[in-house]
Structures are given as C-alpha cells and as structure tokens.
Amino acid sequence: MLTLRAHHLLCIQGYLGKGYSKAFVKNMDKVVDSLKDTTLIKVISKVDDICIACPHALENDCCESEDKVSFFDTSVLETLKIKVNNMYPYGILLDIIRKNLTLKSFKEICVTCTWFSYGYCERGCFYAGHSSQT
Ligand code: SF4
C-alpha cells in the first residue's frame, strides 16, 4: 500500500526522473517503479510517500508550499471524483484519470505549478501516460 497526495496522481503520469534533489528522485523512482494495477493507493492530502524524501516537506506533515499544493489536491479530488482517505487499486485510478481528466481541467489545476511549462505532465496525462505493470 502506498499513500499519495491527490495531485501526485497526475505528477506520476509525466515523471521522467527529474525532481527536487537526488534523494527525492531516488525515492520517486522507487514509488513509480513499484506501481502495478493492483497496488493499493490511499489517496491523501498531506505529506505522502513521495513527499517523505522531498527537501520541501516540513515536519508537521505539510509542504513548504502547502496552500498551493492543497489547492492542487482539492482540485484533483473534485475533478477525478475521488475521496480523500479512500483506497483505490492503481489501475482503477488510471481508468478514472482517463475518464475524468480533460485537457481544460488539467490546465486549470496545474498551470501555476513550476513543472507545468516543461510539458512533461501534459504529455504523460494525455499522450504517453505511465502505464503500470500487471
Ligand atoms: S513540493 Fe511539497 S507536495 Fe511536492 S513532493 Fe515536495 S513536499 Fe510533497
């Protein structure tokens, strides 16, 4: 079982091995490589299994940019119609992303993210998404 902040469901789709530090990338590689359709994900809106190795994570279970990332989480929860603290198999979450995320809603959610302008996430979510192993 993994914990993932809601907005990290989108970040994962465009992940290309880049991140905030070596330790962050090493941990994110491990998380992304572990994802299979059957992997249970607990969707949360606080520091998760990706944040734990991030230099921007604070000790109080929050991010340095908590206001911004909380907005991302809330928007993703609403757009995907999923609930915080619920558990979903990763394969089901991929289906939900394909069904509920539009290019318009993606841009509305993510435009203020520092990674948005690189285009990785848009490509991953709509044109070449990370696919889990079965
Ligand atoms: S920037 Fe914030 S939300 Fe993103 S991985 Fe780091 S601690 Fe988590």
pLDDT at 24: 98
Three-state helix/strand/coil letters over 49-68: CCHHHCCCECCCCCECCHHH
pLDDT at 129: 53
Ligand 1 atom 2 nearest Cα: 63
What integer best gives the mean pLDDT of the chain?
94
Domains of the chain by residue range: 2-126
| DSSP 8-state secondary structure symbol assigned to residue 77 | H
pLDDT at 134: 45
pLDDT at 28: 98
Please name every residue paired with 133 in a beta bridge, in sequence order, or none if there are none: 36
Q: Above 80 in pLDDT, residue 130?
A: no
Ligand 1 centroid to Cα of residue 74, in Å, is 15
Contact between residue 72 and residue 113 where contact means Cβ atoms under 8 Å apart: yes
Contacts of 119 (CB under 8 A, 6+ apart): none
Closest by CA to 50, choosing from 82, 96, 15, is 15
Per-residue pLDDT reduced to its tens digit, 114-128: 999 999 999 999 997
pLDDT at 4: 98
- pTM of the predicted protein model: 0.94
Residues with CB under 6 A from ligand 1: 5, 50-51, 54, 56-57, 63, 65, 69
Which residue in this structure is represented by tokens 């090493």?
Answer: 26
Per-residue pLDDT reduced to its tens digit, 15-52: 999 999 999 999 999 999 999 999 999 999 999 999 99
Q: Above 70 in pLDDT, residue 131?
A: no
H or E segment to which residue 42 belongs = strand 40-44
Ligand 1 centroid to Cα of residue 58, in Å, is 9
Mean pLDDT of 86-102: 97
Contacts of 112 (CB under 8 A, 6+ apart): 68
- The CA R_g of the chain, rounded to the nearest whole Å, is 13
